[in-house]
Structure 1
């Protein structure tokens, strides 16, 4: 493709007051209104005592930050994208980035919890108004994981040298909900200091995630999936109190090693993956493995009898190609294996259970999505401002997923970046006539039908 004019024949001027760069904000924010976001914030978030009026009009400020994140803002200054062209004609109550930054810095731990409550109720409303979690009345997976977000500058409260040597981080914890037919949405999030242990606060967090999933329509079987950092008696007890199953990686502690090595050789079943998966230790792609299980394994035997748990220990093993085969006394070669066990009470066939557990890696897609969007930065030096920013990102993520669910099968499972590029970042010119506003969008926009379906759905009568 080449520019069709000579340089002298082209000029540019930022002078059209009737243009908007993000016409997709109109149907997306209309969906947020239908699900009661403004009313929820007005009812639940009370920044009483905040200085300089930071607590006033919290609903307009929260929806403004969410709209900015929908458009792609990853810092407070980027929220200025809302103040251009004809945006004031389409939206009321737009605030300057400095005002929104002051609002975030007014948050305390209690205010962050109020915003968590808004997030939970908003997710339930999105699930009620859109096909966000199809099949949730039959089966839903709740995945829990943590991540580290690198920060710069010593003014960041809570940033510490943690898992990565020489790198200061904050340590978000998140839980997602998905079904066999949907991409994950975010059930709950927590911001933690950089050196916080992976399982710190996990039992309460897991209980909240399971409760949020139920509120969002996950009334069938719920399965909590997690890595080995969440393998403890308190997390499993939280699952059982909530009536949910668990599937948690255990790691290779001495008790697990003894159990694994007691499995007879003829008990291992071959499994082939439709697509190669990366080995969690080496990163090498593997297509074949073997699986076996111990039907009755008792965990946490050092604890009181009431806290011990007996369930299935399922083990996947893959050949360790980095180590040569072992030669026994008779001169025969035996391969060296790496073992990946997990503990579960899911009453399904062994290979199916293993496949379901391995799908826990879907939460990594959400984490990657976050760092390519609003969590590219944690924009404030104040810990609770960053905690609020994290929760607002989770609300934005769920809102975009719900908008995608109203468009096309492709957009139902598209990434946030794709949803933003196809449905939000479409320019438009507004025209006013008889107290009505018409959006004139680009001719031959490739995703015209998906955009129009979203627009007509959210502007039509409530379903």
Structure 2
């Protein structure tokens, strides 16, 4: 491809007051209004007189900026160009939005958590966001370190991966038919233990998931909570069971777990072959076959007897390619194979339960999406402001996911970056006819059908009763 005319024959002028660069933001903001985002802010968020007024405009404004691609306060200027003030009302300057965030306290962040939970419930009721949740739903728990630089940010510390930053704990909900959405989030100091506060967050996430239809109206659907070994604690397991969910957690290789693995007889192993090879972190290689067995196991025996939990220990083993590299203390049992154990009370058959647990990695897609978007930065030096930023990022993520679900089956599972590039960042020119605004979009836009379906679902006439 090349310029149709020489570069000397090309000129550029920023002078059109009717152009907007994010025409797809109109149906997305309409969806947020339909699901009462502004009203929820008024109902649940108490505002300070100084800097906190008009929260019902500032919260949706911050969310809209994140949907459009903003990953810092200064990027909120993306909402102030061309015809944006004709298309939207209540747009605020980045400095005003920054002052608003700095007014947040811990209590305000918890109120914003309540807004996020209720908003997700509204999205799930209005869109096919969590299709099939009444039958099977998965709740995944994981955390990540958001790296920071300098010394000005409150709560910064060195986390489990030796990276300096702040720790974001997330709980996502997904189904076999629907991509994950964020049911709960919490920002923590960087040096925190991964499992700290996880049980409380899990309880909140389960309540929100049930509000979105998980488990069905009678509570007879299947909800499985999945997590890695960092959450192999009694509190997390107990929170899942009390919330009516099954648990599936990677077990740590403790002495009791090793003894249980050693009790598995050779004739009980079932060979499996993965449809696609998977990457093994310990062996740093791709593997395509393994063996699976299970044994009854009682966990947390170091606690009082009432806290002991008896369930299934599903063990997957793969051949060790280099028997010389056996971790200290593993013994002869682990010389030929490497073992991965899952502690679960899932009612699924063994092979299905093992495959279901491996799909826990889907939460990494959510983390990657956030880090490529609003969590590219934590913009403030104040911890509460950054905590509010994380909750707003979760709201924006869920709103973008809901817009994709309305647009097409492809966009229902597409990444945030794909939805933004194909449905949100669509240039448009504003025109007025018969007292109505009209968006003129590019001809032959490759995703015109999906965009039109989203627009009609959010901005079209109401459906017939």
Instruction: Give the alignment's TM-score, normalised by structure 2.
Output: 0.95
Aligned-partner Cα distance in 2 for 1:177–1:392: 17
Residue pair 1:324, 1:336 contacting (<8 A) in 2 also: no
Residue in 2 that maps onto 1:59: 56
Residue in 2 that maps onto 1:285: 286
Aligned-partner Cα distance in 2 for 1:462–1:301: 58
Residue 146 (1) aligns with residue 147 (2): no
Residue in 1 that maps onto 2:124: 127
Aligned-partner Cα distance in 1 for 2:199–2:335: 39
- Displacement of 1:456: 0.7
* Secondary structure at the counterpart of residue 277 of structure 1: strand
Residue pair 1:319, 1:335 contacting (<8 A) in 2 also: no
Q: 2:204 aligns with which of 208, 212, 215?
A: 208
Q: Which moved more, 1:112-121 or 1:429-438?
A: 429-438
Residue in 1 that maps onto 2:187: 191
Aligned-partner Cα distance in 1 for 2:287–2:28: 41
Aligned-partner Cα distance in 1 for 2:150–2:42: 34
Residue in 2 that maps onto 1:174: 170
Aligned-partner Cα distance in 2 for 1:343–1:287: 23
Q: Which residues in structure 2 correspond to 1:238-257 (within 5 Å)?
A: 238-257=239-258
- What do the CA deviations read for 1:183-236 (whole angstroms, capped 9, x no partner)? 100000000000010100111111111111001110221110001111111111
Residue 99 (1) aligns with residue 96 (2): yes
Residue in 2 that maps onto 1:329: none
Aligned-partner Cα distance in 1 for 2:404–2:44: 27
Report how many residues are paired.
451
- Displacement of 1:462: 4.5
Aligned-partner Cα distance in 2 for 1:150–1:282: 27
* Secondary structure at the counterpart of residue 42 of structure 2: helix
Aligned-partner Cα distance in 1 for 2:8–2:438: 34
Q: Which residues in structure 2 correspond to 1:348-427 (within 5 Å)?
A: 348-427=348-427
Residue in 1 that maps onto 2:273: 272
- Displacement of 1:323: 2.4
Q: Which moved more, 1:101-110 or 1:235-244?
A: 235-244
Structure 1 spans left out of the alignment, 5+ residues: 327-333
Residue 236 (1) aligns with residue 237 (2): yes
- Displacement of 1:335: 6.6
Change beyond 3 A, Cα 1:266–1:462: farther
Aligned-partner Cα distance in 2 for 1:48–1:4: 56
Aligned-partner Cα distance in 1 for 2:462–2:113: 26
Aligned-partner Cα distance in 2 for 1:322–1:437: 68
Q: Which moved more, 1:230-239 or 1:109-118?
A: 230-239
Aligned-partner Cα distance in 2 for 1:215–1:231: 26
Residue pair 1:325, 1:336 contacting (<8 A) in 2 also: no
* Secondary structure at the counterpart of residue 286 of structure 1: strand
* Aligned Cα root-mean-square deviation (Å): 1.4
* Secondary structure at the counterpart of residue 209 of structure 1: helix
Residue in 2 that maps onto 1:157: 154
- Displacement of 1:38: 0.6
- Displacement of 1:88: 0.3
* Secondary structure at the counterpart of residue 33 of structure 1: helix
Residue pair 1:245, 1:345 contacting (<8 A) in 2 also: yes
* Secondary structure at the counterpart of residue 151 of structure 2: coil
Aligned-partner Cα distance in 1 for 2:113–2:175: 23
Aligned-partner Cα distance in 2 for 1:21–1:245: 46
Residue pair 1:20, 1:429 contacting (<8 A) in 2 also: yes
Aligned-partner Cα distance in 1 for 2:462–2:336: 61
* Secondary structure at the counterpart of residue 71 of structure 2: coil
Instruction: Give the alignment's TM-score, normalised by structure 1.
Output: 0.95
Structure 2 spans left out of the alignment, 5+ residues: 216-220, 327-333
Residue in 1 that maps onto 2:218: none
Residue pair 1:203, 1:235 contacting (<8 A) in 2 also: yes
Residue in 2 that maps onto 1:304: 304
- What do the CA deviations read for 1:99-151 (whole angstroms, capped 9, x no partner)? 00000011000000000000000000000000001110101000000100100
The 4+ residue runs of structure 1 with deviation greater than 6 A are: none
Aligned-partner Cα distance in 2 for 1:440–1:199: 51
Aligned-partner Cα distance in 2 for 1:64–1:88: 12
Residue pair 2:48, 2:103 contacting (<8 A) in 1 also: no
- What do the CA deviations read for 1:406-441 (whole angstroms, capped 9, x no partner)? 111111110000000000000001111221111100
Residue 221 (1) aligns with residue 222 (2): yes
- What do the CA deviations read for 1:68-118 (whole angstroms, capped 9, x no partner)? 001100000000000000000000000000000000011000000000000
Aligned-partner Cα distance in 1 for 2:22–2:417: 14
Aligned-partner Cα distance in 2 for 1:461–1:127: 21
Aligned-partner Cα distance in 1 for 2:229–2:461: 48
- Displacement of 1:320: 1.8
